[in-house]
Amino acid sequence: MIVWTGLGILVLIIPIALGLFLEYIFGEDTSAFQIGLILGGIIVWFLGRKLNSTQLPSENNSNGENQTQSNAHTLFWLKMQWWSPLIIIGGITSALSGLIGEEIVEIIYRILVGFVILYSANHYYKKWKLSRLESSGNTQKKDQQATKTINNKPTGLPDKNQEIPNNTKNYVLKPLSETEKKKKAFYSDLKKETMNTENNQSNDHSKYLPKSDNLD
């Protein structure tokens, strides 16, 4: 399965198509296909650098601000321009296969394929590790928010920075009128007088004593 993003598939299309085109013109007995691979690798280098250096505007979902991000034109998670040296080396090796021998060519091809596999595996591992770290960070953030909410003690009083409503201020600071003061003083005196009367009645035991007869 071929994995690519953006225009990364051109890494395969351009060199192979150019090699087949030159082979069709000059014949199969020549090294036209290998020369096409080399030329295609050079084209992929410049095209990949141009595409991957372009900045595109993107919207950040967290705060809604517009930001720029680089394009990602890759093949097997390897950017287009970094495929160029591999293609060129493969084309040169294939063209010189008659001089250096088939065994050496196979070794070089295996090295190139192994490099691509190692790079792809390393990229996939870093991506997986980063996703786990982000998931763990989000979980810790939620736990901290929950703990903070639980530790907040509701006192029923407004915060220092909280503004007291106008009606509450008026109720607290409004002085008593003269009529209200007189009523309050009247009820206070009446209460004291009632309490004094009750105390005097409870201490007066003379009515319970027997009346003495007048001997005179």
Domain that holds residue 42: 4-56+69-126
- 133-145 tens-digit pLDDT: 887 777 777 777 7
In 3-state terms, what secondary structure has residue 67? strand
Q: Looking at residue 6, what DSSP letter applies? A: T
In a domain, 213, yes or no: no
Element containing residue 92 per DSSP (H, E): helix 80-95
124 vs 141: CA distance, rounded Å: 26
Q: How many domains does the chain have?
A: 2
Please report, as a single letter, which amino acid is at residue 45.
W
In a domain, 63, yes or no: no
In a domain, 64, yes or no: no
In a domain, 12, yes or no: yes
Predicted confidence at residue 181, as pLDDT, reads 80
- 147-183 tens-digit pLDDT: 766 666 555 555 555 555 555 545 455 667 778 887 7
pLDDT profile of the chain (216 residues), mean per 10: 84 94 86 91 93 68 53 84 89 82 82 82 80 77 70 55 53 67 80 73 53 50
Q: Is 187 exposed, middle or buried (0-12, 13-18, 19+ CB in 10 A)?
A: exposed
Q: b vs e for 47-68, b when ≥16 Cβ sit within 10 Å of the residue's Cβ?
A: bbeebbeeeeeeeeeeeeeeee
110 close to 98: Cβ distance less than 8 angstroms:
no
Predicted confidence at residue 48, as pLDDT, reads 92
Predicted confidence at residue 169, as pLDDT, reads 46
Predicted confidence at residue 43, as pLDDT, reads 95
Residues 14, 78 within the same domain: yes
**How many other C-beta atoms can be found within 10 angstroms of the C-beta atom of residue 11?**
29
Element containing residue 5 per DSSP (H, E): strand 4-5
Predicted confidence at residue 163, as pLDDT, reads 56
In a domain, 135, yes or no: no
48 vs 82: CA distance, rounded Å: 8
Residues 110, 172 within the same domain: no
90 to each of 11, 25, 96, 135, how far by Cα in Å?
13, 21, 10, 41
Residues 20, 119 within the same domain: yes
Predicted confidence at residue 209, as pLDDT, reads 52
